[in-house]
Structure 1
Amino acid sequence: MKVSIITVVYNGAATIRDAIESVLSQTYPDIEYLVIDGHSKDNTTEIVRSYGSRITRFVSEPDKGLYDAMNKGIRLATGEVIGILNADDFYKHSQVVEKVVDLFKKKKCDAVYGDVIYVNPINTEKIERDWKVGEYKEGDFLHGWMPPHPTCFIKRSVYERLGTYTLELKSSSDYELLLRFIHKHKIRISYLAETLVTMRSGGVSNATLKNRWRANREDRQAWRINGLRPYFYTLLLKPLRKIGQVLPKLS
């Protein structure tokens, strides 16, 4: 089972090496690694090219943003399973892909997801959020649930059947895609109960209150795009679920 891993980057020289090293250190032997760069202005391209043929495919050209670049990577991917690892994230350990593939084979599922930790962007040893996702139950999206996008490994056939990331949304296209795949079309998903990805804190949807408000409006739009209606409290619960991820670290 070939696994395609896609890293999308724009001006990510400060962090891209961590992402690349975490992919190249994986013990699973059949990995295709694609790096999609949005024509960076810093030395991102030099860093990526320094790895030579260890990176299967490198594309550097202007794009229409994060999700357009992800779609480009998906179109180029040839693996049976696709994972997306952002340029400021990295896999928690070297056996992540191996364990993911084992679960795909055992469960005969369409997608696998796991847990994630958020760390200080400067000191990556300092954990700021610990997101234990838990097993999915049908209808959980109505109660504010979603799996961490960077931990999701999805069969390429699902993208071919149900589509890729919408460019209508700026920060919630990953939420819309997972809502569409899991809640609307009920693909078969399996939970790998361990931390798969380390993420640096921050990000487009959470950096400011203004951005969080925009993300909430986009989340609502994601339901409309799919012809679905959330409960009145669904999109209030989504950010509130994060409180439990932070509080243990404050004690």
Structure 2
Amino acid sequence: MKVSILTVVYNGAATIGHCIESVLGQDYPDIEYIIVDGNSKDGTQEIVRSYGDKIARFLSEPDGGIYDAMNKGIQLATGDVIGILNADDFYAYPSVVSEVAGVLASSDFDASYGDLEYIDANDATVVRRKWVSGAYKVGAFLNGWMPPHPTFFVKKEVYNTHGHFRLDLGSAADYELMLRFVHRENIKLAYVPKVLVKMRAGGVSNSTFKNRVAANRNDRLAWKINNLKPRFYTLWLKPLRKIIQFI
């Protein structure tokens, strides 16, 4: 089973090397590593090119934002499974992809996910939050649940069947995609109960109150465009669930 790992980046020279090393350090033998760059000007392109043919595909051109870049990468991917690792993130240990591939080798599952740690932006040894996903239960999205997107590995046939990221939902595009795949289309999920990815703190959707309001509005739109109806508390529970990640 080939696993395509996709990293999208724009002016990420400060962290892209760490991200790349975490992928190249995986012990799984059949990884296709794809990097899609938004025409960076800060040295990112030079860093990526320094790895030569260890990067299977490198595309650098202007794009319409992070999710447009992800869609480009998905189109380029030839693997059976696709994982998306942002330039600020890195895999927690060398056998992450091996463990995920072992789970998804079974035809019983369409996708898998795990847990995630938010680490200090300047000190990767300091954990700020821990997102323990827990096993998925049917209807969990109604209770504000979602898996951490950087840990979400999906068989390519799912993208082929159910579509890619929408570009009209801002930072809620990953939420909408997982809502569509899991809650609406009922793909079969496997939970790997380990921290698979470490993410540097400081996500755009939560950086200001204004951004949080915009994210909530787009979350509601994600339900509407899928002809789904949340409960009255669904989209209030979603951000409230983050509080326990600090405990």
TM-score normalized by the length of structure 2: 0.99
CA distance in 2, matches of 1:66, 1:188: 26
1:109 alignment counterpart: 109
Which stretches in structure 2 are left out of the alignment for 5+ residues? none
Partner of 2:43: 43
**Residue of structure 1 equivalent to 2:8:** 8
Aligned pair count reads 247
1:10-59 CA distance string (max 9 Å, x none): 00000101110000000000000000000011100000000000000000
Q: Shift of the alpha carbon at 1:204?
A: 1.2
Which runs of structure 2 are paired with 1:80-229 in the superposition (5 Å)? Answer: 80-106=80-106, 108-229=108-229
Counterpart of 2:235 in 1: which secondary structure? helix
Deviations 1:151-183 (A, max 9, x none): 000000000000000011111000000000000
The residue identity in structure 1 corresponding to 2:148 is P
Q: Aligned equivalents of 1:132 and 1:163: distance in 2?
A: 27
Q: Which amino acid aligns with 1:215?
A: A
3-state SS, counterpart of residue 33 of structure 1: strand
CA distance in 2, matches of 1:107, 1:26: 23
**Residues of 2 paired with 1:243 and 1:121: CA distance?**
19
Letter aligned with residue 186 of structure 1: N
Hey, which bits of structure 1, 4+ residues long, moved more than 4 A?
none
Counterpart of 1:245 in structure 2 is 245
Unpaired segments of 5 or more residues in structure 1?
none
Distance across 2 between alignment mates of 1:99 and 1:106: 12
User: Aligned-pair distance for 1:105?
Assistant: 2.3
Counterpart amino acid of residue 123 in structure 1: D
Measure, in 1, the Cα distance between the counterparts of 2:228 and 2:128: 33
How far is the alpha carbon of 1:240 from its aligned partner?
0.4
Alignment RMSD (CA, Å): 0.7
TM-score, normalised to structure 1, is 0.97
